């Protein structure tokens, strides 16, 4: 450890979702950690909509939790409405989501940070200390210096942030917060590849001025699915959300004023997310739809503010006032803060290694929105990875990595550093090729062992995890040991062919339409097993046919990827590769197929050609 | 691009692009940065790119030949470089003179074997599938083979496979929208019928393409037409006439032909192998018995059977069944007649020509089916994709269905090219108003 020369091992700049996870992760790894943020009381702020999780995002939260991160625990404490999305679909694509109380979230996050050994400094970082190609620390606004071996930048949208409302523009990173200008200047001087993105926010509403009688109600689930493997119940009072719709009148107003929209008029150069279109986009691009859904989400139990999810906008204030009142239930509504669009620079994440440190500046890590992602969960996952890796770097240990086959965290990081982004990157389950095995029910069995190995998992979780694994293996041994003749099974109403072959309980469980209570009638001893454990075994059994095949494919792929390429591979002689790719291969001289696959712009078919070429060379040689 | 160095050294190459030897027309191809200026030196002012013009080609003040010149820009040429083609008269002397004139120009050199194709590959003008097709094109023995290979090189087949993949991506987009955006306003509620329609169609197309692969191989290897008939009906004599040379031992004594004798012909571009069978009859001769058994087996697997009969061997059907494509050939028509689809006698060459024309006419429709897969490897990918789609059709859970459809699309990608990671999401976003 180089601690003697430094004030801290790791400095984290920013107290948002990425910053909190980064600082807490580094702290769990027992390196001295400092978090620098403008104001302690803004730590854990939910600056966009007051919800955590969703399809794909909920998977990320579970995985953060499996590595003993904070987000799942905090969201469980702050959750005021829980819904498991895709409940009626297969278990692999179910995503937990929670409406959160903004204050409770912040308070609980601040308490979590307070309970760690993280040292928090309130201040503005104005410069990075760089010595040759190594980071040495940061300089604060008052001129003081904080030395550290690693720095993690999680500053969100602060790079050249510009906010738009109609034709008015303001420089800043978030409404009410100023942008970090000096650090941004310093950042630009590093000469990193940059891009520009945009995103929008809706006007916030005063809930006491909404006519709730005209609004559809949406309840949470009767049996809430919590995020954390360690949570055992709800903390906060639960509420209902509302659903309303735009009207033809709304659409007319938006259409009449479309050229005043900052986003629509082309005044914003950044690229916006297609999955989070502004109301302008929705109305102009999907003209045949006569209404669009709006979710009215309370921002908290003691806060009357309502977040109308679905009508983000950059129209002028007067137009916002007018169109909002054409929506049923909102005819007398008071807007507490108008919607705006924000555009900002991001660093092309292809400049990062998969540990999230800059390739060109050792020890400087980037996490969160600065890497072109959107969403609290995506930010937190990166913060976690950056925090763990900063600690690994300080300790001189190998980087921590999750593969695409092990988790959504792996998919996220790999997508970012190998493909870059073309719009604000959000997680979807369809991005995961191993989706059937990357489920919320097994996030712990996939990732907690990795966390235990590097030492980021605390004692309480380690105990709970090992108890759960024991339950699972115990129960699965029981299920495999119970069997019955087909004649017996048909008496209990199971449709099995009368071939005399005894079926095990586990075998029957794998059948989609077989329920555990049916099995318990044949074998009453199952009743003693934990219901959750059985559920998970059922899910495993259901997917095993596909997962096994996928595992075999993955194994084959891994074996193929380990194929060593001949040192004197004549890249030029590989027909079918583009010149561009040939030059990149020649420059990198990959030793294995895996290394070749990490070359930017590599395609599956190009890999096939390289593989065929290498094998041919070996055959010729032998 | 300025980075062509790796293989192509920036030189301008030329070569005779048509087969050497006497021919009506010969094409000389020039490719590289100096292609156009070389063409201008020999032919004078150049026509618009991709437009042919008649020119007199001159070198050192002497007229070499009169012919057509056409030039291509790199964006539309075979090699991806500036290119010129001279179409001249096919005589050896003319071709030699023009090649000599090109060689005397500074910066030009004769092309090495396969160098044009290699440049096309280097410049990303061909997909792996096209490359495989191209190899066949170079090996193409007959016009029909050439046309089939052209179908693949020309990109028709590539487009068909890309089309299937696009359709699979559409299906995936539908499934994924219903999964990933289930809580958002415009997400489709039930997509099963639409998805089943799409993947059901592609599965049929894939199965068709797999059966066509055997046809593709056929065009490469040739059709087999067997001559079947009782001993002494005249099979060997007919075969000898088709071949134009003595290939079978012909004698007046029945049962002379004891082995399978083949003659490979080019029927106006259609490769056909005629096989003379041992005469089919009951026999005690052990050697002949084996011959008869072999004949029957081979006749069953043939693409077409010529069932021969004659006045002196009787008009019994020579085999127990006749397929639609099979033909009854009445031989020795100069001596005596029996019923048949066609009357033939070795004494009259024209009657044999009529027979060959009819054989070609009957086989041709078989070759009209379009051949998508260039070889067995590609057909194997298609078969694997079709199996996955079969499973997908019976699967109820969306995420498993998507898993199978995605796997199928990866199989197709192995034939055409990589899948862009965002392809499915692109599909979703273009179709639905997704998002809150």
Question: Which neighbouring-strand residues pair with A366?
Answer: A153
DSSP codes of every residue in B205-270: HHHHHHHHHHHHHHHHH-EEEEEE-STTSSHHHHHHHHHTS--S---SSTT---S-EEEEEEETTE
Which residue has tokens 């003319």?
Answer: B94
- Residue B414: count other Cβ atoms within 10 Å of its Cβ: 20
Q: Give which of A90, A216, A272, A295 to mutate to test B binding, by max B Cβ within 10 Å.
A: A90
What does the pLDDT read at residue B145?
A: 56
Task: Give the range with max mean pLDDT: A295-309, B23-37, B252-266.
Answer: A295-309
**pLDDT averaged over every residue in chain B:** 75
- Asked if A578 and B1 come within 8 Å (Cβ–Cβ), the reply is no
Q: How confident is the model at residue B143 (pLDDT cuts 50, 70, 90)?
A: low
Higher local confidence (pLDDT), A436 or A188: A436
Average pLDDT over residues A575-591: 78
Q: Is the pLDDT of residue A549 over 90?
A: no
Q: Is the pLDDT of residue B153 over 60?
A: no
Q: How far is A28 from A15, CA to CA, in rounded Å?
A: 17
Q: Is the pLDDT of residue A544 over 80?
A: yes
Q: Is the pLDDT of residue A172 over 80?
A: no
- Residue B265: count other Cβ atoms within 10 Å of its Cβ: 20
- Asked if B179 and A429 come within 8 Å (Cβ–Cβ), the reply is yes
What does the pLDDT read at residue B331?
A: 87
Q: How confident is the model at residue A189 (pLDDT cuts 50, 70, 90)?
A: confident
Work out the minimum CA distance from A322 to partner chain B, whole angstroms.
20
Work out the minimum CA distance from B99 to partner chain A, whole angstroms.
28
Higher local confidence (pLDDT), A599 or A136: A136
Work out the minimum CA distance from A93 to partner chain B, whole angstroms.
7
Q: How confident is the model at residue B362 (pLDDT cuts 50, 70, 90)?
A: confident
Chain B residue with the nearest C-alpha to that of A286: B433
Mind listing the pLDDT tens digit for each residue in A495-534?
A: 888 888 899 998 888 887 888 888 989 999 888 888 888 8
Q: How confident is the model at residue B220 (pLDDT cuts 50, 70, 90)?
A: low
Chain A residue with the nearest C-alpha to that of B391: A546
What does the pLDDT read at residue B419?
A: 40
Q: Is the pLDDT of residue B216 over 90?
A: no
Give the N- to C-terminal CA distance of chain A in Å, as an integer. 48
Q: Is the pLDDT of residue B5 over 50?
A: no
Average pLDDT over residues A204-231: 95
- Asked if A605 and B418 come within 8 Å (Cβ–Cβ), the reply is yes
Average pLDDT over residues A560-568: 75
What predicted TM-score, i.e. pTM, was given to this entire model? 0.71
What does the pLDDT read at residue A523?
A: 92
Of A408-412, B61-65, B92-96, the range with the lowest mean pLDDT is B92-96
Work out the minimum CA distance from A182 to partner chain B, whole angstroms.
35
Percent of chain B surpassing pLDDT 90: 17
Q: How confident is the model at residue A295 (pLDDT cuts 50, 70, 90)?
A: very high
What does the pLDDT read at residue B20?
A: 61
Which segments within A48-202 are labelled E, that is strand? 51-53, 79-85, 95-100, 119-122, 125-131, 134-140, 145-153, 162-165, 168-171, 194-200
Work out the minimum CA distance from B126 to partner chain A, whole angstroms.
7
- Asked if B399 and A92 come within 8 Å (Cβ–Cβ), the reply is yes
Handedness of CA A346, A348, A351, A356 (dihedral sign): positive
Q: Is the pLDDT of residue B258 over 70?
A: no
Among A430, A436, A603, whose Cβ lies nearest the Cβ of B418? A603
Q: Is the pLDDT of residue B6 over 60?
A: no
**For B66, which DSSP code?**
E
- Asked if A55 and B397 come within 8 Å (Cβ–Cβ), the reply is no
What does the pLDDT read at residue B421?
A: 38
Q: Give which of A83, A430, A586 to mutate to test B binding, by max B Cβ within 10 Å.
A: A430
Among A275, A436, A604, whose Cβ lies nearest the Cβ of B399? A436
Question: Which neighbouring-strand residues pair with B351?
Answer: none
Average pLDDT over residues A483-498: 89
Q: Is the pLDDT of residue B377 over 70?
A: no
What does the pLDDT read at residue B4?
A: 29
Chain A residue with the nearest C-alpha to that of B2: A579
DSSP codes of every residue in B262-317: EEEEEETTEEEEEEEPPP-S----HHHHHHHHHHHHHHHHSSEEEEEEBTTTB---
Which helix (H) or strand (E) segment is B89 a member of?
A: strand B83-89
Contact call for residues B392 and B401 (beta carbons, < 8 A): yes
Three-state helix/strand/coil letters over A272-293? CCCCCCCHHHHHHHCCCCCCCE
Q: Is the pLDDT of residue B16 over 90?
A: no
Among B131, B398, B425, whose Cβ lies nearest the Cβ of A575? B131
What does the pLDDT read at residue B381?
A: 79
Chain A residue with the nearest C-alpha to that of B5: A579
Q: How confident is the model at residue A12 (pLDDT cuts 50, 70, 90)?
A: very high
B71 CB-side CA count, 13 A: 20
Nearest to A454 by CA among A394, A376, A379: A394
Q: Is the pLDDT of residue A14 over 90?
A: yes
Q: How confident is the model at residue B251 (pLDDT cuts 50, 70, 90)?
A: very low
Q: How far is B8 from B6, CA to CA, in rounded Å?
A: 6
Q: Is the pLDDT of residue B206 over 60?
A: yes
Of A306-320, A560-574, B374-388, B409-423, the range with the lowest mean pLDDT is B409-423
What does the pLDDT read at residue B114?
A: 61
Task: Give the range with max mean pLDDT: A33-42, A599-608, B145-154, B335-344.
Answer: A33-42
- Asked if A90 and B118 come within 8 Å (Cβ–Cβ), the reply is no
Higher local confidence (pLDDT), B122 or B46: B46
Say which residues have a Cβ less than 8 Å from residue A303's Cβ, sequence separation at least 6. A101, A102, A103
B302 CB-side CA count, 13 A: 31
Say which residues have a Cβ less than 8 Å from residue A211's Cβ, sequence separation at least 6. A329, A330, A331, A332
Q: Is the pLDDT of residue A434 over 60?
A: yes
Which pair of tokens denotes residue B67? 């012919």
What does the pLDDT read at residue B436?
A: 40
Which residue has tokens 């495993």?
Answer: A540
What does the pLDDT read at residue A95?
A: 95
Q: Is the pLDDT of residue B322 over 80?
A: no
Q: How far is B249 from B258, CA to CA, in rounded Å?
A: 9
Q: How confident is the model at residue B435 (pLDDT cuts 50, 70, 90)?
A: very low
Q: How confident is the model at residue A225 (pLDDT cuts 50, 70, 90)?
A: very high
Q: Is the pLDDT of residue B148 over 70?
A: no
Task: Give the range with max mean pLDDT: A37-41, A614-618, B147-151.
Answer: A37-41
Chain B residue with the nearest C-alpha to that of A603: B418
Average pLDDT over residues A174-189: 70
Order of strands across the sheet that contains A95-100: A51-53, A95-100, A79-85
Of A417-431, A469-483, A539-553, the range with the lowest mean pLDDT is A539-553
Q: Is the pLDDT of residue B7 over 50?
A: no
A480 CB-side CA count, 13 A: 8
Say which residues have a Cβ less than 8 Å from residue A555's Cβ, sequence separation at least 6. none
- Phi then psi for residue A612, to 5 deg, are -65, -40
Say which residues have a Cβ less than 8 Å from residue B262's Cβ, sequence separation at least 6. B273, B274, B275, B276
What does the pLDDT read at residue A42?
A: 92
Higher local confidence (pLDDT), A11 or A341: A11
Mind listing the pLDDT tens digit for each residue in B261-307?
A: 777 777 777 778 888 876 566 666 776 677 667 667 767 778 888 88
What does the pLDDT read at residue A347?
A: 93
Average pLDDT over residues A157-173: 82
Q: How far is B82 from A111, CA to CA, in rounded Å?
A: 69
Average pLDDT over residues B5-19: 69
Among B128, B185, B403, whose Cβ lies nearest the Cβ of A605? B128
Average pLDDT over residues A116-140: 92
Q: Is the pLDDT of residue B115 over 90?
A: no
Mind listing the pLDDT tens digit for each residue in B171-192?
A: 988 888 888 887 666 556 677 8
Chain A residue with the nearest C-alpha to that of B422: A431
Q: Is the pLDDT of residue B140 over 60?
A: no
What does the pLDDT read at residue A610?
A: 77
What does the pLDDT read at residue B112?
A: 66
């Amino acid at each position: 450890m180089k601690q003697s020369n430094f004030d801290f091992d790791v400095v984290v700049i920013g107290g948002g979702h990425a910053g909190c996870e980064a600082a807490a992760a580094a702290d769990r790894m027992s390196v001295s950690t400092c978090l620098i943020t403008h104001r302690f009381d803004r730590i854990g702020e939910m600056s966009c909509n007051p919800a955590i999780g969703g399809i794909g995002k909920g998977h990320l939260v579970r995985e953060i939790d499996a590595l003993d991160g904070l987000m799942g625990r905090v969201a469980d404490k702050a959750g005021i409405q829980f819904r498991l999305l895709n409940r009626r679909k297969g278990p692999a694509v179910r995503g937990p989501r929670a409406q959160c109380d903004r204050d409770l979230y912040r308070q609980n996050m601040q308490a979590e940070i307070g309970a760690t050994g993280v040292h928090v400094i309130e201040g503005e970082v104005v410069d990075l200390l760089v010595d040759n190609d190594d980071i040495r620390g940061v300089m604060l606004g008052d001129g003081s210096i904080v030395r550290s071996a690693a720095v993690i930048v999680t500053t969100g949208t602060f790079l050249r942030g510009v906010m738009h409302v109609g034709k008015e523009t303001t420089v800043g990173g978030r409404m009410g917060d100023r942008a970090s200008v000096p650090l941004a200047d310093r950042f630009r001087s590093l000469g990193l590849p940059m891009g520009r993105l945009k995103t929008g926010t809706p006007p916030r509403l005063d809930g006491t001025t909404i006519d709730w009688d005209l609004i559809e109600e949406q309840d949470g689930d009767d049996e809430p699915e919590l995020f954390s493997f360690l949570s055992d119940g709800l903390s906060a009072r639960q509420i209902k959300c509302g659903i309303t719709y735009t009207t033809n009148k709304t659409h007319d107003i938006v259409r009449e004023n479309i050229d005043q929209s900052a986003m629509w008029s082309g005044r914003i150069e950044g690229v916006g997310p297609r999955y989070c279109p502004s109301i302008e986009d929705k109305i102009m691009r999907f003209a045949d739809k006569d209404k669009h859904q709006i979710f009215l989400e309370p921002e908290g139990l003691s806060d009357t503010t309502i977040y109308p999810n679905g009508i983000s906008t950059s129209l002028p204030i007067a137009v916002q006032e007018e169109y909002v009142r054409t929506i049923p239930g909102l005819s007398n509504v008071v807007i507490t803060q108008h919607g705006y669009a924000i555009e900002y620079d991001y660093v092309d994440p292809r400049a990062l290694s998969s540990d999230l440190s800059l390739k060109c500046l050792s020890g400087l890590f980037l996490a969160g929105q600065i890497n072109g992602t959107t969403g609290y969960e995506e930010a937190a996952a990166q913060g976690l990875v950056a925090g763990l890796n900063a600690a690994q770097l300080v300790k001189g240990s190998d980087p921590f990595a999750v593969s695409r086959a092990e988790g959504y965290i792996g998919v996220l990081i790999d997508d970012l550093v190998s493909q870059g982004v073309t719009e604000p990157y959000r997680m979807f389950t369809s991005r995961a090729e191993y989706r059937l095995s990357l489920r919320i029910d097994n996030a712990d069995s996939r990732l907690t062992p990795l966390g235990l190995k590097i030492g980021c998992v605390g004692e309480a979780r380690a105990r709970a995890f090992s108890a759960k694994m024991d339950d699972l293996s115990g129960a699965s041994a029981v299920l495999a040991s119970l069997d019955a003749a087909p004649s017996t099974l048909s008496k209990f109403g199971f449709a099995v062919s009368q071939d005399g072959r005894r079926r095990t309980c586990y075998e029957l469980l794998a059948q989609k339409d077989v329920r555990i209570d049916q099995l318990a009638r044949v074998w009453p001893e199952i009743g003693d097993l934990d219901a959750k454990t059985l559920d998970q075994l059922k899910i495993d059994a259901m997917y095993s046919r596909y997962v096994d095949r996928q595992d075999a494919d993955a194994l084959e792929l891994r074996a193929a990827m380990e194929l060593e390429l001949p040192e004197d591979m004549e890249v030029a002689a590989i027909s079918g590769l583009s010149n561009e790719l040939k030059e990149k291969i020649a420059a990198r001289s990959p030793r294995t197929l895996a290394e070749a696959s990490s070359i930017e712009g590599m395609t599956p078919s190009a890999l096939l050609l390289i593989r065929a070429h290498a094998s041919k060379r070996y055959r010729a040689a032998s | 691009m300025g980075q062509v160095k790796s293989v192509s050294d920036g030189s301008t190459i030329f070569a005779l692009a048509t087969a050497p030897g006497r021919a009506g027309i010969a094409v000389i191809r020039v490719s590289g940065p100096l292609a156009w200026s070389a063409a201008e030196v020999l032919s004078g002012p150049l026509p618009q790119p991709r437009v042919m013009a008649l020119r007199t080609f001159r070198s050192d003040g002497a007229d070499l030949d009169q012919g057509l010149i056409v030039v291509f820009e790199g964006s539309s040429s075979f090699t991806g470089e500036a290119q010129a083609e001279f179409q001249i008269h096919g005589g050896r002397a003319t071709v030699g003179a023009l090649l000599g004139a090109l060689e005397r120009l500074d910066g030009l050199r004769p092309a090495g074997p396969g160098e044009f194709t290699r440049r096309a590959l280097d410049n990303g003008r061909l997909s792996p599938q096209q490359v495989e097709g191209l190899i066949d094109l170079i090996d193409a023995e007959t016009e029909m083979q050439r046309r089939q290979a052209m179908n693949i090189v020309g990109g028709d087949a590539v487009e068909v496979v890309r089309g299937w993949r696009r359709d699979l991506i559409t299906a995936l987009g539908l499934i994924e929208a219903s999964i990933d955006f289930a809580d958002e306003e415009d997400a489709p509620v039930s997509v099963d019928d639409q998805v089943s329609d799409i993947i059901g169609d592609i599965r049929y197309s894939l199965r068709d393409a797999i059966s066509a692969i055997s046809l593709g191989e056929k065009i490469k290897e040739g059709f087999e037409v067997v001559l079947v008939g009782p001993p002494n009906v005249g099979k060997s004599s007919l075969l000898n006439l088709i071949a134009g040379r003595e290939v079978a031992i012909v004698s007046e004594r029945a049962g002379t032909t004891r082995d399978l004798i083949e003659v490979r012909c080019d029927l106006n571009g259609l490769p056909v192998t005629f096989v003379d069978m041992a005469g089919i009859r009951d026999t005690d001769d052990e050697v002949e018995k084996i011959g008869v058994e072999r004949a029957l087996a081979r006749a069953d697997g043939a693409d077409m059977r010529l069932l021969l009969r004659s006045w002196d061997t009787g008009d019994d059907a020579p085999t127990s069944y006749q397929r639609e494509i099979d033909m009854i050939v009445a031989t020795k028509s100069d001596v005596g007649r029996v019923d048949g689809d066609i009357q033939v006698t070795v004494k009259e060459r024209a009657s044999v020509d009529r027979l060959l024309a009819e054989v070609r006419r009957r086989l041709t429709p078989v070759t009209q089916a379009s051949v998508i897969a260039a070889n067995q490897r590609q057909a194997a990918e298609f078969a694997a994709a079709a199996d996955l789609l079969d499973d997908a059709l019976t699967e109820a859970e969306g995420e498993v269905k998507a898993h199978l459809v995605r796997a199928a699309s990866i199989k197709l990608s192995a034939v055409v090219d990589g899948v862009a990671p965002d392809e499915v999401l692109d599909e979703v976003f273009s179709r639905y108003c997704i998002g809150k």
